[in-house]
Amino acid sequence: MERIVFAVLAVLAAFPTLIQAQAATFYLPETETQFSLNVANDTDNGDLFFRFTSPAYSWVSIGFGKSMKDSLMFIMYPSEDGKTVTVSPRLSTSNSEPSFYPDTQLDLLPGTTITSDGMFVVEAVCHYCRVWPNGALDTESTAQPMIYAFGPGRRIMSNDKNAALKRHHKYGRFTMDMLQARGPGGVPGPESKLNGVTLEGGMKKDHDRMNRAHAVVGCLAIFVLWPVNVVLAGFFKKMKFHVAASVLLLVFLLVAYLLGGLTSAEYNRSKSHRTPHQITAYLTLLPLFLTALLPIPPISRLSSFTPRLHTPLVSSTFVLLVLSGGLGLHLAMQSRPIILIYTAVALIVFAFCFLLQTCIRRRGSAHQRSRAGHEDEQGLMGLKARFAGEHRSRSRAESVESCESGTSSGNGKGVFGGGTMPGPQYLLNMHPGVPVHRW
């Protein structure tokens, strides 16, 4: 009898598929991703058993629903020690980062691990997972909508079930036959083919265009338009170029702020607008708009000290913008090389603007020097005009005096050629401007 029992056990060990639980299987050859689901029909709490294997991206997910909105999703990423997998049941109310759903009871079974070749293996049972807020799993459906997604390559290593996620890199949809998945409760075994699943198109590559545009527009404003504007202000006589560049710079910054606000609504970590990046960005608005208001005549004429505020306000705005950008890279979970490149570019641009502004303060801008030269020229012309007027007045006075003295002098003899013009006896006198007496 014992020999018969040992023989049966040996056969079962050699052919594990004979004891595998009935399941529907989703399989993706491109990534060797498997998701097999067993809907237990012999439990009172509607248990769901599943097996999931996939390359260890930063995170991977499977969800019950047509889209992210109102779907129950299982997000999987490496644990803090990198030896096992953190599985986070999450819900999302829109096409944004889902949040941890604590009402789901999920138990990880002993087979859950990260293999030596970098593959997630998750074996789990979920209790009371068939119904969730604004959604439910239809166990009678032959085409239950399902979604899947892969995060970017950079890993998240955390035990926190509400850990921050980067936007998915690729995603897709399929439908699953729940009747095929129903059977006695148990964890499905390994599988490498579709079973009761219909794919809806292939994997689609996602693009985080809004977040990327926010970063690109902000960097163009800080690292391109800003130093160009400083050059225009310091070396061009006509202020209209500086004003035009300032308006363009302000437009770029406002667009960056708008895109940043829209991007913030997509992630849990930024929805509250309380991150260091967002707080610094909002603080930057104060010196930015004060700088924009200073040239307005009613404000610029308030005091002789008002124009002097321009340089410190501009410098503080630039520093805050650069700091906000660096904090934004940290918030977006960018890699260290990108952060180091940003830091190097920021230091180079800051040094360039600092040296340029120091030169401008010592020599004065081209506009100021041109204006000062014009005022000096006008002052010199005024002095010349005043001296010429005084000289003409003095000459007329001397002429009148000479005529009067000539008319009243000696025996009633008249005087010709009084003043500066020669008289009729020019050949006799040979000295123009000297009064000539008639004999």
pLDDT at res. 9: 36
318, exposed or middle or buried, with CB in 10 Å at 0-12, 13-18, 19+?
buried
pLDDT at res. 382: 55
Q: Can you read off the two tokens belonging to residue 196?
A: 């009761």
Q: Which residues of the chain have pLDDT under 50?
A: 1-2, 4-18, 374-377, 379-380, 407-419, 426-427, 437-439
| Residue (of 317, 323, 319) closest to 339 by Cα position | 323
Do β-strands 113-114 and 105-108 pair in parallel, antiparallel, or remain unpaired? Answer: unpaired
- Segment holding 3, helix H or strand E: helix 2-14
The CA distance from 383 to 22, in Å, is 107
Tell me the torsion sign for CA atoms 300, 306, 308, 313: negative
**Threshold 0.85, pTM exceeds:** no
User: How many angstroms separate the Cα of 253 from the Cα of each of 91, 284, 289?
Assistant: 34, 11, 11
pLDDT at res. 11: 40
pLDDT at res. 43: 66
Q: Give tens-digit pLDDT for 184-200.
A: 889 999 998 999 999 99
- Segment holding 182, helix H or strand E: strand 182-183
Q: Can you read off the two tokens belonging to residue 312?
A: 């410190």
Q: Which fold has domain 20-206?
A: Immunoglobulin-like (2.60.40)
pLDDT at res. 168: 87
pLDDT at res. 408: 47
Q: Can you read off the two tokens belonging to residue 131?
A: 């119904």
Q: Give tens-digit pLDDT for 73-102.
A: 999 999 998 889 999 999 988 888 999 999
pLDDT at res. 99: 93
pLDDT at res. 209: 87
Tell me the torsion sign for CA atoms 217, 221, 223, 228: positive
What are the extents of the domains in the chain? 20-206, 210-365
